[in-house]
Amino acid sequence: MIGFEQNPRAVLVARLASVPVFLLAWELIVRSGIVNAALFPPPSAVALALVAYASDGPLLLDLAWSVSRVAVGFFSGVAAGILLGILTGTFPVVSGALAPIFQMLRPIPPIAFVPIVIVWFGLTELGKWFLVFWGVFFTVWMSAHLGVQRVGETLLRAALSLGTSQRNLLLAVVLPASLPVIFVGVRTAVGISFYTLVAAELAGASFGIAYRLEVSQQNMQVAQMMAGLVMLGLISFTADQLFGKLSRRIVHWKE
């Protein structure tokens, strides 16, 4: 923090010890009988359930289905969000036509669409892709829209004075200058895509991490439920970290 002396070794120790200390405290609290172990199992029980899920259960199949649903909804939402965000941020007429509609629809949470998505698409994969797309699109659209609008007028004038044509201005100046803001929205959308995945798979599925959570809840298998939550957290964290590294490579001039 600014104004405070930092000890790098202490920061490293705190970072390495945080998760083990948290898990140990959780284990001790449950083992002490303060909470009901049947309703709030210790980490050791969750770990055993996760091992059983991986060795004897359909973990790989559930993982493949969940990741594929996220991938389709995420990439289609990102593509549409960036394209329309650039258009609404660049052209006032397009913004006047679309921005009010998007601002009206944006606050509607994806989970609210579950009943109508079932009516529209049944229990098909298209409905699940749509829910993930909905959660991703508006976040990316807003970041692209604001990113384009925040490109400095001085930068645009300088590019035009150096001979950049109106046709090349968007690709050569506006898009690179707005990419850092766009990538913040896309990275946020990575997490949102996994939030909406839960709603998508609870809308009706035969496989998937969130679907398995519902099955475990119906059977009161709390340790298995928490193992599923751990898996969701792990794949979401992994996707976020991979995208963070990718964005640092692409937007290298902002390092």
Q: Taking 80 as the threshold, does the pLDDT of residue 138 lie above it?
A: yes
Q: What's the confidence (pLDDT) of residue 166?
A: 64
Q: Taking 90 as the threshold, does the pLDDT of residue 84 lie above it?
A: yes
Report the greatest alpha carbon distance in the chain. 74
Q: Taking 90 as the threshold, does the pLDDT of residue 141 lie above it?
A: yes
3-state SS, residue 147: helix
Contact assessment for residue 188 and residue 129, using Cβ atoms and an 8 Å cutoff: no
The pair phi, psi for residue 59, each rounded to 5°, is -60, -50
Contact assessment for residue 240 and residue 70, using Cβ atoms and an 8 Å cutoff: no
Give the pair of three-digit tokens for residue 137. Answer: 């699109």
Contact assessment for residue 125 and residue 69, using Cβ atoms and an 8 Å cutoff: yes
Pick the more confident residue, 129 or 14: 129
**pLDDT tens per residue, range 232-254:** 888 888 888 888 888 788 775 55
The 8-class DSSP code of residue 172 comes to I
**pLDDT tens per residue, range 34-65:** 888 888 888 888 888 888 888 877 888 888 99
**Nearest alpha-carbon partner for 216 in 226, 204, 225:** 225
**Average confidence (pLDDT) over 76-105:** 90
The predicted model scores a pTM of 0.81
Pick the more confident residue, 213 or 251: 213
Going from the N-terminus, what domains does the chain have, and what CATH number goes with each? 39-254 (1.10.3720.10)
**Nearest alpha-carbon partner for 174 in 160, 195, 191:** 160
**CA distances from residue 174 to 68, 87, 135, 221 in whole angstroms, order as listed:** 32, 11, 26, 52
